[in-house]
Amino acid sequence: MCIYDCWQERLTSTFVIIILCIIIIASPTITTVLASSALPTTNLSIQHTTSSVLISAQEEENNSSSSTFKITDQIRGLINALVDKNKTNSAIAIGFIDPNGTQFYGHGKISNTNITTVDQNTIFAIGSITKVFTTTLLADMVNQGLIKLDDPIERYLPSYKVPQYKGHKITIEDLATHTSGLPNLPSNYCPSFDPSTTAFQHSIQYRTNLMNCTKNYTFDNFYQALSNTTLSREPGSKFEYSNFGMGLLGHILTLKSNMSSYDELLSKKILDVLDMNSTNIGISDTQKSRLAIGHFNGGQELPTWNASNPIAPGPGLHSTVSDMLKFLSANMGLIKTNKIR
């Protein structure tokens, strides 16, 4: 099982990260939670595509020294032609990994004003790949016996009203698999406009409004939205993509771990362990020069969305190809760690 699903963006001219691998062995920890979950289409600002070939552990051992794949000039030429044909100022950063090491290739510029070619150290908004990290944290806590997938979420939120449907309660697994019945975003997340209008979603103004009306969204707002939500069906009965639900899952994991924030939990358990030093929720001043800017249909640059803390466990991470290959390497068993701390 590949730990990433192919993920298609609705915006047609955004930056792209492609992480290619010829060997991948998904750890039981990750498979526990992710085998039944999906990362479908979202309305974030970057595309990710992954390609992998599964082989057994024995085959990996036998073939680990025989891989001869190279990012050749022919491959570079095909990639360059595909990106340039769109004429939308798009760019691409590629990382390839196998037991013999890593290779990188970048084509295109960071932004209209920063003509540096994108590379393995360029920072991208990785959007819903953030959910892989959140559910990895969940899988680790399940394996430690700290939390159970069939636990009702109200067990972890005793001071707050949690919606039910005719006595059927939302479980941890429902949050992880997008079957909780919660909507994509809280009802009070951005009340100044209607994000359900497709034409409005596909506009620069949508992104600008989203940034302006969500930057001060608090956990008090988050809990208020949760208590005011009415479920229209039994939890677990139907898939409906939900950043709201994934944000709630990240928050519950943070509370259970006694960490001060999701950022701290993620850093301590995964990012620091793997030295993923360029992966985080926010962008520091020193990182801004490495941040790739997304583009809309005509090549117009999109404002960068830093998701508010309550929603961040769903779409909020930024990362680089170099860091993502560290994460991939750990799950492939190519680098040894003390597992999640």
pLDDT digits (tens, 9 = 90+) for 235-265: 999 999 999 999 999 999 999 999 999 999 9
pTM of the model: 0.80
Digit-coded pLDDT (tens) for 154-193: 999 988 999 999 999 999 999 999 999 999 999 998 876 6
Q: Compute CA distances 129 → 155, 160, 164, 283, 314, whole Å.
A: 27, 29, 28, 17, 8
Band of pLDDT at residue 283, cut at 50, 70 and 90 = confident
For residue 174, being part of any structural domain is answered with: yes
The pLDDT score that the predictor gives to residue 339 is 58
Averaged pLDDT for residues 132-140 = 97
pLDDT of residue 266: 98
Given a cut of 50, is residue 106 above it in pLDDT? yes
The overall average pLDDT reported for the chain is 79
- The answer to whether residue 106 sits within a structural domain is yes
The neighbour count for residue 39, using CB atoms within 10 Å, is 21
Calculate what percentage of the chain has a pLDDT beyond 90: 57
The pLDDT, as a whole number, for residue 209 is: 78
β-pairing, 164-165 vs 168-169, is antiparallel
Domain membership of residue 6 (yes or no) is no
pLDDT number for residue 192? 65
Angle among Cα 60, 64, 67 to the nearest 5 degrees reads: 115
Structural domains of the chain, count? 1
- The answer to whether residue 341 sits within a structural domain is no
Hey, what are 144's tokens? 């430690």
Residue 2, in any domain of the structure: no
pLDDT of residue 199: 57
In angstroms, the Cα distances linking 16 to 97, 127, 279 are 17, 11, 17
Q: Which two tokens stand for residue 324?
A: 């993502």
CATH number of the domain enclosing 153: 3.40.710.10
The domain of 131 spans 16-332
Contact indicator for 313, 134 with CB cutoff of 8 Å: yes
In a domain, 4, yes or no: no
- Which band of pLDDT confidence, cut at 50, 70 and 90, is reported for residue 198? low
So what's the pLDDT on residue 302? 81
Q: Is 25 helix (H, G, I), strand (E, B) or coil?
A: coil
pLDDT of 19 above 70 = no
Q: Is residue 7 part of a domain?
A: no
Higher per-residue pLDDT: 103 or 46: 103
Condensed to tens digits (0 to 9), the pLDDT of residues 48-93 reads 222 222 222 223 333 444 557 899 999 999 999 988 887 777 899 9
* pLDDT given at position 67: 57
In a domain, 190, yes or no: yes
pLDDT-derived band at 42 (thresholds 50, 70, 90) equals very low
